[in-house]
Amino acid sequence: MESLYIPDIKDLKAGTNVLLPVFHPGALFHVRDPHGAQGDGEVSGLAIEQSLSGVFRLVVHKGVSLALP
C-alpha cells in the first residue's frame, strides 16, 4: 500500500490546520509515533516518545485543484 509520509514537524500543535492532497479513492488517515520533544525531524534518530490521545477532524474538499510548480 502506498502512503504519504509527513516528516516530524515540531511546530504542529493543538489547533494547527494541515492540508494534505489525496489522490486515491478510499485513502486512509493514520497518526503514529508522537514525540514529547525533538528537534526539526529525527536526523539523529532521537526523540522523547510518548502516548497520544487526540481528536482529529478530517474535511474533504472535493473539486479543488492544486497549483503545482
pLDDT for 3 beyond 70: no
In a domain, 11, yes or no: no
Q: What is the number of structural domains in the chain?
A: 1
Q: Are 19 and 12 in contact (CB under 8 A)?
A: no
Q: Is 37 helix (H, G, I), strand (E, B) or coil?
A: strand
In a domain, 69, yes or no: no
pLDDT, tens digit, for every residue of 20-59? 888 788 888 887 777 777 666 556 667 777 887 878 888 8
Domain that holds residue 58: 28-63
Judge residue 67's burial from the number of C-beta atoms within 10 Å of its C-beta, 0-12 exposed, 13-18 middle, 19 or more buried.
Answer: exposed
In a domain, 53, yes or no: yes
